[in-house]
Structure 1
C-alpha cells in the first residue's frame, strides 16, 4: 500500500509539473507574439509620421476705414487680415480678384459701429460676416471657395 500511494503521488506530481510547464510555455509564446505585433505596429507608426498639410494664407494688406460711433462721432478702424484657405485654387482666385475682395471688405467694415468691434464677441461676429462675403460669387462660373478662417493680424479702433 505504501508503494501504491507513492506511485499515485508521483503521477500527480508529474501531471502537475506538466500543467505548469505547459502553462508557462503558452504564456511565453503569447507574450512574444503580442510583443512582436506591438513592436511591428510601433515601427510602422515611426516609419510613417502623420504629415499635416502646410497652411495656405491669403494676406490682405491693411487699410483704414471710417466707422460710426454714437458718442464720439466718426472713428477709424485700422485692420489687416489674412484668410486661411484649404487649397491652391482658392488662393489663386482670391489673389486674382483682390480689388473686388478689398472693395467688399471696405463696404462691410464701413458699416460697423466702434462699440461693437471693441469686444471679443464683436470681432467674432465680424469674422463670420467676412466669411459671409464670399457666399456671393466673385466671378461666373466660380469653383467653390474653401475659406476656413479669418485671422485678424492688425486691429485698431481709434
Structure 2
C-alpha cells in the first residue's frame, strides 16, 4: 500500500525571474551612479559659468641655487680670532631670479661677505642671531638684484653653519 504522493516541485521560474530583476536593478543603479559622477566632473572641469568664478593661481614649486663655495669671514670678538663658515642655498619661485643671482654672483658674494664679516661672534651663537643674519643676507642680495633691475629671491637657506 504504497501511497503515491509526490511533493510539488518548487517554482524555479519565479526565483530565476527575481534574481534577474535584482541583477538588472543593481546594474542600472551602478550605471546611473557612474554617469552622474562623470556628468558632474565634466561640468566642474568646464568651470560652469566662468564669469562667476575667479581664476586660481597655479602653484609653482620653489627653485634652488646652491652656492658652490662657502663664505668664510673673520668675526668681531673680544681679542680672540674667530671665524664663520657658511654654506648657502637661495630659493625663488621663478628661474629668472636664480639666473640673475648666478649672473651677478661676484657682486652678491662680496656683499654677503661684508654682511657676514660685520657680525659679532657671540650673537651668531644664538638662534635669534642666526635668524637676523639670514634676514640681513637676504636684504643685501635683493638690494644687489634690485640695483641690477632683476627680480628678488624669496629666501636664503643655511646648508651648513660653522663657528670657530
1:80–1:152 contact (8 Å) kept in structure 2: yes
Change in Cα spacing, 1:137 to 1:62, as seen in structure 2 (3 Å) is closer
Partner residue in 2 for 1:58: 65
2:87–2:160 contact (8 Å) kept in structure 1: yes
Partner residue in 2 for 1:120: 127
Q: CA deviation at 1:75?
A: 0.2
Residue 151 of structure 1, aligned match among 133, 136, 157 = 157
Structure 1: any 5+ residue segments left out of the alignment? Answer: 1-31, 46-50
Q: CA deviation at 1:154?
A: 0.8
1:100–1:138 contact (8 Å) kept in structure 2: no
Does structure 1 residue 107 correspond to structure 2 residue 114?
yes
- Say what the alpha-carbon RMSD is for the aligned residues: 3.1
Does structure 1 residue 77 correspond to structure 2 residue 84?
yes
Number of positions where the alignment pairs a residue of Structure 1 with one of Structure 2: 119
Q: CA deviation at 1:58?
A: 1.5
1: CA distance, partners of 2:39 / 2:126: 52
5 Å-filtered alignment, 1:5-20, equals: none
- After superposition, the C-alpha distances for 1:93-131 in whole angstroms (9 at most, x for unaligned) are 110111111100000000101111111111111111011
Change in Cα spacing, 1:138 to 1:37, as seen in structure 2 (3 Å) is closer
2:72–2:85 contact (8 Å) kept in structure 1: yes
Structure 2: any 5+ residue segments left out of the alignment? Answer: 1-31, 46-57
Which structure features the higher share of helix residues? 1
**Structure having greater relative contact order (Cα 8 Å, sep ≥ 6):** 1
